[in-house]
Structure 1
Amino acid sequence: MILAKAGHPERQSGAPHPIPRPGAGVRRRPGRRRAVTFALLCGGIWALAGCGGKSNEPIGTAAPVAGYFGSVAADEPRATLAGRDVLANNGSAVDAAVATAFTLAVTLPSRAGLGGGGACLVHDQRAKKTEAILFPATAATLDGRLPAGVPTMARGLYAMHARYGRLRWEQALAAAEGFARFGHPVSRALARDLANDGERLAGDPELSAILLGPGRAPLAEGTSLSQVALAAALTRIRTAGPGDFHVGQSAREFAAAARAAGAAITAEDMRAAIPAWAAPAEMGFAQERLYLLPDPFSGGAATAGLWRRLAEGRDRWRSGAAAAPAPLAVASGLDRASTGFVVTDREGSAVACVLTMGQPFGLGRSARGTGILLAPPADAANTGTVSAALLVNTNVNEFFLAVAGGGGVDAPAATAAVMAATLVGQQTLDRAYAGLDAGQPARVNIVSCPAGAPRKSETCATRTDPRGHGLAAYPGQ
């Protein structure tokens, strides 16, 4: 396996062990006790290799990994490793995407969180279908001191997992819960966001005590960060499911906690916040179909327009003369407020997701006692700072490319440029980012399978944006 990183390498040994419900997520079968003992001796579910054994173990069991098992690229390294470990345990691309997303809510709260929203494009190889699941933070029905949106992230990811996941829901959340409860070193990605936007947290005593150090200075890279209140929220979502968070006791408690912070979110608002499956926007490219995020994620439409413009300049791209298009004119205060990641699995399924807090660290306030950052409701401005696309040949049911961008108003332009460099300019992934402005805030993650997956999965490779501090994980040959 190869770890392709931007910025600096992350220590894999620092990841805490997941803490699933006793007996959750493991198929019971004769000899299970011996298998579990063997797995523990080999290092638990975090082991990727060693100790020998079969490579076709049942779903959810620890086993050595041989050949292509999929790939993950995200803007924060521990989120990538959480998704990678799910893939290594025979999880699907959707299982790994859920693990990656919830881990980002813990390790990169400036851009993703339970109080925010997002969207995903899903290509399921078994179902021979490509869909979009949309879960933007919706507006509350009442006016409050804080213009907070109603959280939708947990429900949206649960809907995606219910349709296409293979592992148990509890397993997909285990890593995120463990990081929140037992702590993790602050990554360079989070440290940079805290340095840029940490002052937004100064007005919230609870957040200041967690994310800011003595004298309200931003936490430095490598500082241990634990979020016990957020871990408790994740425990309830893991054990009771997002349904309880939206319609049960947890929903009432969260609404009360949000009102205590000045946001007029009601239990009825929580109940009404429902994700939606939608047909992606699409267009043709050669023999394939390019799928993009549909409305209300306006970054998808912007990417489509920029893609057409770049694709028309095919000869200029191939000669290396083309430049990345200019970013859209949107308020720059939305920079560093969103993130995108991509996941593939060994069967040829793929997921491209974007998550957003609307503004860096959302509203800079948390629902009292929950550890959940509040975010503004989704609007055309903040949904325009994210972009995702999948390239699929529907005739032979093969996947070719996934790309996701977030973090700045130039995300649609950067996403279109990286796609064009790869597909039109036929550049290697290492050169696909060459035309991007180093000073622009957007970050783009990509996985490309030039000969198609799963038929030629050995051609797949992935990269994280070299201008950022993320991580890409994929098997080497």
Structure 2
Amino acid sequence: MRLVLALLLSLVLAASPPAAAQQATDVSPSTGEIDASAVTGRHGMVASQEAQASRIGAAVLARGGNAVDAAVATAFALAVTLPRAGNLGGGGFLVLHRAGGEPVTIDFRETAPAAATPNMFLDAAGNADPLKARFSASAIAVPGSVAGLALAHEKYGSGKLSLAALIEPAVRLARDGVPVTGDLFETLTLAERRLGQWPSSAKVFLPGGKAPAEGALLKQPDLADTLGRIAAEGPNGFYRGPVADKIAATVKAAGGILTIADLAGYRAVVRPPVRGTYRDYEILSMPPPSSGGVHLIEMLNILEGYDLTALGAGTPAALHLVVEAMKLAYADRAAFLGDADQVDVPLGKLLSKDYAAELRRGIDPAKARPAATIRPDSPALGGGGANTTHLSVVDRDGNAVALTTSLNFNYGMGLVADGTGVLLNNTMDDFSAKPGAPNAFGLIGSAANAPAPGKRPLSSMTPAIVLKDGKTKLVTGAPGGSRIISTVLQVILGRVDFDLSPAAAVAAPRVHHQWRPDVLLLERAIPPATAQALAAMGHTIEVGATSGSAHTIVVTPEGVVGVADRRARGAGAAAE
């Protein structure tokens, strides 16, 4: 058996992001034990990666806003209080269950600029150039967050609160300042070198040339002005006019390809969710360009054929089956997934119970299947999604929102658009530079996910809502790059199959396998005896970093329970 204790799971992150892209946690460094704090309320609930933002969302619910209103206010607040992941300069996905209405999703994933080409991240020899895909200004995609949040409010808000009212708390926080403590202090310190290479970023985040002292106030007046312009003008205040001009000028000066026309042409899209069933529950999640919803349902379909409850939570036998399902789904992700607006994605097949049964027949309950035998001719191999943040909201009427947004790495490119306070993403790395070439999270893909003008890169973001008899039972999602899908899967299994309490389902130690590389990743809290048993089944084991932070809401007979996953320091849930 090979047990490697590592701060980062280097084989997952085949080309590891910088130190600042690592997730600050409240996990014990010696034991790996994980905490999840739960708050119970009678009516509405917000759970997010930053407690102050959650309180802002809960206050919106108390003022008569619905789940969408609260989610929008929380997301704008996170752009101020959690700048490493909350954002105006990135993108994301929203899944909405409407009590008494059809569910919908909003796709506000970033898009490739018009000048993008399939070979833009190859070197002169035709090989993938990871530095260009991750750290050059060519990695900046057209941001979608502002358009997506504004569209959500316009179409699905309560109508009781204006967009300006929902943005106002974020404006105030940006202007007055937020304390540099906990996660913010730690990640700014780690990101000092990346932020310091850009004068516009250093001006905001590195006063005096270094990260703020712990307890200092981080004031972001340019961001306050940008938020104020969006409040006054809606998305046009971001995608047109002075803010857009400054974003385009900053990107051009840094050598990127994003233009004013790209910004003006961006549109968020309303899509139907992908839907599946597991046991007697219904699963709602995000369609492509998310791979998360498709493969969450694919894995659940495979696992539905096993009695996981009888095997027991956290047992080697149960974890082995979960891992084997992960391998199969991630192999399909690499082969088939891309932006369904531009490529043909076989959704019907991937989501079908019959296809899951076919895949299940290839699983040996006692022995690991080598990755090389799963899709050996995958086009992703040249043959034949960091940082992200998630929030969950449930309101008193039973409406539910699962919302995940991302800049890709912590602080994205590390580049603030001068005069705007807006941190820009490096999401273009989520495209496949070349079939078989890994992105920063070790994920590989095929030509289906190659860069192209206006195309949306494939994402692992997996906002998910679980229903029973048409009513919300669980809302969840997570950051974590390639580990997002497996994190969401395990939270759902913890509740549905193992009847764990909401806090225990979130805190339970997690495993992850993404097909390539052929390595099973274990959180440190996995008992050594369990790791040894999995290794004896043929799994190649690595033990190391925590996996995602799944801020979750569970509706129980006793009330609405919001769970803050303490893998993310500073996370919090707040009741209406």
Scaled by the length of structure 2, what TM-score is found? 0.64
Given that residues 73 and 470 in structure 1 are in contact (C-alpha distance below 8 angstroms), is that contact kept between their aligned partners in structure 2? Answer: no
Shift in Å, 1:224? 0.9
State the partner residue of 2:191. 197
Q: Which of 158, 166, 170 is the matching residue for 2:150? A: 158
Gaps of at least 5 residues in structure 2 are 1-24, 28-39, 121-135, 334-384, 432-438, 440-456, 511-522, 525-544
Shift in Å, 1:317? 5.7
Shift in Å, 1:262? 3.4
| Identical columns (%) | 30
Q: Structure 2 counterpart of 1:199, which letter?
A: R
CA distance in 2, matches of 1:206, 1:463: 37
State the partner residue of 2:141. 149
Matched, 1:363 2:413: yes
State the partner residue of 1:459. 559
State the partner residue of 2:345. none
State the partner residue of 1:274. 267
State the partner residue of 1:228. 221
CA distance in 1, matches of 2:499, 2:216: 41
Shift in Å, 1:242? 0.6
Q: Structure 2 counterpart of 1:413, which letter?
A: S
CA distance in 2, matches of 1:83, 1:310: 35
Matched, 1:444 2:435: no
State the partner residue of 1:434. 508
Residues 438-458 of structure 1 show CA distances to partners (whole Å, capped at 9, x for unaligned) of 52241111111145xxxxxx4
Cα–Cα, structure 1 residues 466 and 245, in superposed 2: closer, same or farther, change >3 Å? closer
Q: Which of 443, 448, 465 is the matching residue for 1:390? A: 465
CA distance in 1, matches of 2:502, 2:217: 34
Cα–Cα, structure 1 residues 317 and 199, in superposed 2: closer, same or farther, change >3 Å? farther
What is the aligned residue count?
401
CA distance in 1, matches of 2:295, 2:266: 26
CA distance in 2, matches of 1:220, 1:343: 33
Residues 15-42 of structure 1 show CA distances to partners (whole Å, capped at 9, x for unaligned) of xxxxxxxxxxxxxxxxxxxxxxxxxxxx
Shift in Å, 1:282? 1.2
Shift in Å, 1:169? 0.7
Which structure ranks higher in relative contact order (CA pairs < 8 Å, sequence separation ≥ 6)? 2
Cα–Cα, structure 1 residues 317 and 207, in superposed 2: closer, same or farther, change >3 Å? farther
Matched, 1:79 2:48: no
Shift in Å, 1:202? 1.5
Shift in Å, 1:275? 0.7
Q: Structure 1 counterpart of 2:252, which letter?
A: R
Cα–Cα, structure 1 residues 400 and 441, in superposed 2: closer, same or farther, change >3 Å? closer
Cα–Cα, structure 1 residues 271 and 469, in superposed 2: closer, same or farther, change >3 Å? same
Given that residues 140 and 149 in structure 1 are in contact (C-alpha distance below 8 angstroms), is that contact kept between their aligned partners in structure 2? Answer: yes
CA distance in 1, matches of 2:61, 2:405: 21
Root-mean-square deviation over aligned CA pairs: 2.8
Matched, 1:207 2:198: no
CA distance in 2, matches of 1:295, 1:319: 31
Q: Structure 2 counterpart of 1:371, which letter?
A: G
State the partner residue of 2:253. 260
Residues 301-359 of structure 1 show CA distances to partners (whole Å, capped at 9, x for unaligned) of 332333344543422564552337479699xxxx9311111011111001001101022
- 2:481 match: secondary structure: coil
- 2:65 match: secondary structure: coil
CA distance in 2, matches of 1:67, 1:74: 16
- 2:47 match: secondary structure: strand
Scaled by the length of structure 1, what TM-score is found? 0.77
Gaps of at least 5 residues in structure 1 are 1-5, 9-65, 452-457
- Output aligned runs, 1:292-441, within 5 Å: 292-311=285-304, 312-316=306-310, 318=312, 320-321=314-315, 322-323=318-319, 325=323, 336-378=386-428, 379-380=430-431, 383-393=458-468, 397-432=470-505, 433-436=507-510, 437-438=523-524, 439-441=545-547
